[in-house]
């Protein structure tokens, strides 16, 4: 989370900014983020944010002699990489990439483990003077969808009334949108 705050609240300076943050939770999670920022010219700079998460995803299993099992829908590793480029007052370009490792599934008749997946996103924004800005945003460029691997609908209704398996990957596929902002 600290990395996201850095990316949103900080801008590149003439002096290179390089920070590495590590957090450890009492529940076995480790979160790390790297923030790099550099202003190359008076009007041109860039930032790079890299973050990862690792979880000792084990809990108690009271139904067996093993004692410990992986927690369902909790991948052991997630990795995210975000980079931005900005020509101050004119153009911004942002690229993001995320990787989610496989995770144990629960109450899923089609598979015991999810499929690892990588997702990529992009944003381009351009200003025309002080009064107009256009942008285009593209998400899930690789069109990763859980429904490409198996059905969401269960063959039979569960005892709790559910008809679908849990979500472990994006459902909406590739998404694109754009817009304009006018300042009067």
In the prediction, which pLDDT does 74 show? Answer: 80
State if pTM tops 0.75.
no
With beta carbons less than 8 A apart as the criterion, state whether 50 and 33 touch.
Answer: yes
With beta carbons less than 8 A apart as the criterion, state whether 165 and 154 touch.
Answer: yes
For the residues 149-163, what does the mean pLDDT come to?
Answer: 91
For the residues 64-83, what does the mean pLDDT come to?
Answer: 73
Say which residue, 132 or 33, is predicted with more confidence.
132
CA torsion, ordered 147, 79, 86, 178, to nearest 10 deg: 10
The sign of the CA dihedral 133, 176, 73, 166 is: positive
pLDDT above 80 for 53: no
For the residues 157-175, what does the mean pLDDT come to?
Answer: 92
Mean model confidence pLDDT for the chain: 82
**Contacts within 8 Å (CB) and 24+ apart, 14-20:** 14/39
Say which residue, 78 or 178, is predicted with more confidence.
178
- Strand stretches in the chain, DSSP E: 17-24, 29-41, 44-55, 58-61, 67-70, 77-87, 91-100, 117-128, 132-139, 175-182
In the prediction, which pLDDT does 76 show? Answer: 76
In the prediction, which pLDDT does 79 show? Answer: 82
pLDDT digits (tens, 9 = 90+) for 7-30: 445 566 678 888 888 888 776 777
pLDDT digits (tens, 9 = 90+) for 104-135: 898 899 999 999 999 999 999 999 988 999 99
Say which residue, 124 or 62, is predicted with more confidence.
124
Per-domain residue ranges of the chain:
2-182
With beta carbons less than 8 A apart as the criterion, state whether 100 and 113 touch.
Answer: no
CA distance 94 to 111: 35
In the prediction, which pLDDT does 75 show? Answer: 81
For the residues 33-59, what does the mean pLDDT come to?
Answer: 73
pLDDT digits (tens, 9 = 90+) for 169-184: 999 999 999 999 999 8
Strand order across the beta sheet in which 17-24 lies: 17-24, 29-41, 44-55, 77-87, 91-100, 117-128, 132-139, 175-182
Report residue 12 as tokens: 């590149």
- Choose among 126, 164, 120: nearest CA to 143: 120
């Amino acid at each position: 989370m600290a990395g996201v705050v850095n990316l949103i609240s900080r801008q590149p300076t003439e002096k290179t900014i390089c920070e590495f943050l590590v957090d450890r939770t009492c529940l076995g999670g480790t979160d790390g983020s790297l923030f790099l920022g550099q202003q190359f010219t008076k009007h041109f700079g860039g930032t790079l944010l890299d973050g990862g998460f690792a979880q000792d995803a084990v809990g108690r299993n009271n139904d067996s002699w093993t004692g410990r099992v992986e927690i369902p829908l909790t991948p052991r590793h997630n990795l995210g990489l975000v980079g931005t480029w900005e020509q101050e007052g004119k153009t911004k370009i942002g690229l993001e990439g995320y990787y989610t490792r496989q995770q144990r599934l629960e109450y899923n008749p089609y598979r015991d483990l999810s499929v690892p997946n990588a997702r990529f996103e992009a944003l381009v924004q351009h200003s025309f003077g002080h009064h107009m800005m256009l942008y285009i945003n593209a998400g899930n460029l690789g069109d990763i969808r859980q429904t490409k691997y198996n059905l969401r609908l269960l063959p039979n209704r569960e005892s709790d009334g559910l008809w679908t398996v849990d979500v472990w990957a994006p459902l909406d596929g590739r998404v694109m949108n754009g817009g304009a902002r006018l300042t009067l």
